[in-house]
Amino acid sequence: MTAIIEVKALRKEYPKLIAVDGIDFAIEKGCCFGLLGPNGAGKSTTIEMIEGLKKPTSGEILFNGVPMNSDFKKVAGIQFQSTALQDFLSVSDNLTLFRSFYDRHADLQDLIADCDLSSFLEQDASKLSGGQRQRLLLALALVHDPEVIFLDEPTTGLDPNARRQFWALIQKIKAGNKTIILTTHYMEEAYLLCDEIAIMAKGKLIARGTPDTLLAQHFGDNILELPTAALGAYQPKETHFHKGEKTEIYTKDMNQALRGLIDSGIDLTHLKIRSRTLDDLFLELTNKDTEEKVHV
Amino acid sequence: MFSRIRTLIHARNLEFFRDRASLGWSVAMPFFLVFALALAFYGDNKPLFKVAVYQPSAEMTAKLNPIFGLEHVHFYTTDNLQRAIDKVARHQTDLLINLNPSTASAEQGYWVNIDSPNGYFMEKLLKQVDPNLKRHDTENHPIRYIDWVIPGVIGMNIMFGALFGVGFVIVRYRKSGYLKRLNATPLRPVEFILAQLVSRLFIVVFLAVVIFMISKWILGFAMNGSYWLLLLVTILGSLSMIAMSLMVTARVSSEELAGGLLNMVSWPMMLLSGVWFSLEGAYPPLKYLAQLFPLTHMLDAVRAITIDGAGLADLTQPILVLSLMTLVFIVIGAYAFKWSDD
């Protein structure tokens, strides 16, 4: 696979802040790349530098092996988390307007069908529901059949049903061998859609790889979840966290952990067993876990 | 309830006082207006009447001494008789006196616009000094004040439509992130600016034409020149003021700051460009300042067409000045333009 975008020693400084601190990564063509991180980690600044909306303080961004220039906007489709559109323009008017900015065009009827816009095509864009609006914004990002698509928290604020519809739409775009760069706070979304993720914190890249590889690298254990009251005075040997009324026990040896619980006469009626998720990885890496760690 | 209102007042005050740019203009703007107006209308005894005197001689000064000593009358000398007559006709001067013995006797006497109330009073005073002075009317068909002021009112309407209709929209687009979204496309600043310019131009000129035609039909004011030339000057004047608005708001993302800046431009233009009254006899620096405003050149050209029937050749200077201003404003606006406030 060849890298469509390469970021080398990218840095962005403001007078009192280093927003991005010399990061490197490459994105392969046709890949869905997830850039994750807590608020203020520098991911939006990184994305906006790649999009050409902000100038880096130093470093280099290559597109297809050559330094990026203003022509990149012709092949990039961008959906911001929230974008105001012109008042009193219908969905159809907005599509026409944004199509006019490009020389290359996607088939409009296919786009309307793919983004499911046909039922409100003549409706004022300012009166759309959250899901409809996000689908329109995605369609505006796709009007010119871009090679690279940036999706900035595209499902924030959507209800679960609308979010799943949106995921299906993104998977359809992925199937067309488009390169997608996604930022999201929903780890479930990143796990489902992304082929590769990178996690940023304090302007630096702190992890990068496929979701499963990263989970295997950082954990390799499972979690037993029990009501704290059911444990009584029992202190598990394994690492465990009290999370209010529940306690989570982290173990690489499930048999031994279960045996310890059974031998101590713990009631396992409400026992839940789950694998590690990207949420766990995110919290682990970004030091956002504020829960009380009682034993390592 | 009062607690909630108090909290809301506090929140709004914080918003206002922490927006330093807006705060600065809110404080600076009144000072600017106070001092600008004070400069424009300095002195307690602003003249009520303006009288031009053509090439005054010692003999004439002695003869007219009783009225030269009057307060509240501003006398000024002129060396161009025809131009001075035109100013009487245009209500820019209330009376013109020529008692210079070196001029032909047919040209001696005084000129007054029979439609001017101020001219009427100055004529009465002059007759007290010498009842035999020969009276000249300004022309066969005297120009009424309405003929002079209507182009000014329409010009002012164009100015407000151009400045505020474009400036605030741009600021709103920038603040809402719409411009940032456009920046993510291959659209260039100059393309965006030109589109806004042409769109607003159409609206402003269309409205001006409608207002002009209806006013002309109802009020029947003077129109002695070419309608096509009038349209050309209106388009150029509108273009320059729209471009000025785009330049002023090229980097602004606060409506309050934009309001301050646009007021700072529009108020002096309204006061100094000759919308309501002529700057004849005003301090020379104010006249020079007025030349920096596109509205001044547009109104001069429009009145030359409607009142004097001026042709294209007579209007070369204002047309060139308005074109140049438009070009300069667009270039600066495009160069300074910011898509977002990041």
The pLDDT score that the predictor gives to residue B91 is 79
Is residue A70 within 8 angstroms of chain B, CB to CB? yes
pLDDT 10s digits, A25-77: 999 999 999 999 888 889 889 999 999 999 999 999 999 999 998 899 999 99
**B247 contacts: CB under 8 Å, gap ≥ 6:** B329, B330, B332, B333, B336
The predicted-structure confidence for B197-255, as pLDDT tens digits, reads as follows 888 899 899 989 988 888 888 888 788 889 999 999 999 999 999 999 999 999 888 88
**Which of B170, B179, B180, B181 would you mutate first to test chain A, the one with the most A CBs within 10 A?**
B181
Q: What is each CA distance from A283 to A45, A286, B41, in whole angstroms?
A: 21, 5, 69
Chain B residue numbers touching A54 (CB-CB < 8 A):
342
Task: Tell me if chain A has a CB within 8 Å of the CB of B105.
Answer: no
Give me the mean pLDDT over the A131-138 stretch. 90
Q: What is the pLDDT of residues B275-294, one digit of tens each?
A: 887 776 667 788 888 899 99
Where are the domains positioned within chain A? 3-209, 220-295
Cα–Cα nearest to B183, from B42, B340, B54: B340
Kindly state the average pLDDT of the residues B129-143. Answer: 75
Measured CA angle at B67 (ends B66, B72), to 5 deg: 130
Same domain for B316 and B179, yes or no, is yes
pLDDT at B1: 66
Given A80, A84, A101, which is nearest B187 (Cβ)?
Answer: A101
Q: Are A115 and A92 in contact (CB under 8 A)?
A: no
Question: Looking at the 3D structure of chain B, how many domains does it have?
Answer: 2
Q: In angstroms, rounded to a whole number, what is the distance separating the alpha carbons of residues A68 and A50?
A: 8
pLDDT of residue B40: 59
Instruction: Show which of B137, B158, B176 is a domain's final residue.
Output: B137
Alpha-carbon distance A1 to nearest alpha carbon in chain B (angstroms): 27
Cα B35 to Cα A15, A281, B25, B96: the distances in Å are: 37, 65, 15, 32
Q: What is the DSSP string of A115-131?
A: TT-GGGTTSBGGG--HH
pLDDT value at residue B166: 87
- Among the ranges given (A244-248, A268-272, B32-36), the one the predictor scored with the smallest mean pLDDT: B32-36
Distance from the Cα of A290 to chain B's closest Cα (Å) equals 32
- CA B96 → CA A6, A57, B99, B113, B134, distances in Å? 80, 69, 10, 10, 12
For residue A183, the model assigns a pLDDT of 92
Over the stretch B45-67, which tens digit does the pLDDT of each residue have?
566 788 888 877 777 777 777 77
pLDDT digits (tens, 9 = 90+) for A94-117: 999 999 999 999 999 999 998 889
Q: What is the three-class DSSP state of B309?
A: coil
Report if residue B21 sits inside a domain. no
Cα–chain center distance at A89: 30
Residues of A in contact with B184 (CB under 8 A): 51, 53, 73, 76, 78, 80
B222 in the same domain as B99? no
What are the residues facing A60 on neighbouring strands? A8
ipTM over 0.90: no
Interchain proximity B180–A53, CB inside 8 Å: yes
Q: Report the chain A residue with the minimal C-alpha distance to residue B338.
A: A53
Question: What is the rounded average pLDDT of the residues B109-136?
Answer: 85
- Please give the pLDDT value at position A155: 87
| Per-residue b or e along A152-167, where b marks 16 or more CB atoms closer than 10 Å to that residue's CB | bbbbbebeeebbebbb
With an 8 Å Cβ cutoff, are A86 and B178 in contact? yes
A85 vs B contacts (CB less than 8 Å): 178, 181
Judged by DSSP in three states, A290 sits in coil
B68 vs B164: which has the higher pLDDT: B164
Q: Is A17 on the interface with B (CB under 8 A)?
A: no
Minimal C-alpha gap between B236 and chain A (Å): 28
B77 shares a domain with B218:
no
Q: What domain range is B64 assigned to?
A: 49-137
With CB atoms and an 8 Å threshold, state whether A54 touches B184. no
Provide the number of CB pairs (under 8 Å) joining chain A to chain B: 43
Q: With CA atoms as reference, report the closest residue to B296 among B230, B233, B203, B206.
A: B233
Residue B317 is assigned to a structural domain of this protein? yes
Q: Are residues B266 and B205 in the same domain?
A: yes
B338 inside 8 A of chain A by CB: no
Query: What confidence category does residue B41 fall into, taking pLDDT thresholds of 50, 70 and 90?
Result: low
Q: What is the pLDDT of residue A296?
A: 33
Residues B221 and B303 in one domain: yes
Same domain, B163 and B86: no
Residue B87 falls within a domain, yes or no?
yes
Separation in Å, CA of B334 to nearest CA in chain A: 17
Given an 8 Å threshold on Cβ–Cβ distance, is A78 in contact with B181? yes
Please report, for the domain that includes residue B124, its CATH number: 3.40.190.10
Who contacts B95 (Cβ-Cβ below 8 Å, separation ≥6)?
Answer: B49, B50, B51, B52, B88, B110, B111, B112, B119, B122, B123, B126
Alpha carbons B309 and B311: distance in angstroms, whole number: 7
Average pLDDT for A3-9: 93
Regarding whether B156 and B120 lie in a shared domain, the answer is no
Asked whether the beta carbons of residue A74 and residue B180 sit closer than 8 angstroms, the reply is: no
Q: Which residues of B touch A96 (CB under 8 A)?
A: none
CB A117, CB A139: distance < 8 Å: yes
| Whether residue B284 is found in the same domain as residue B160 | yes
What number does CATH give the domain A3-209? 3.40.50.300
Q: Do B187 and A70 touch (CB under 8 A)?
A: no
The reported pTM is 0.74
Residues 6+ apart with CB under 8 A from B43: none
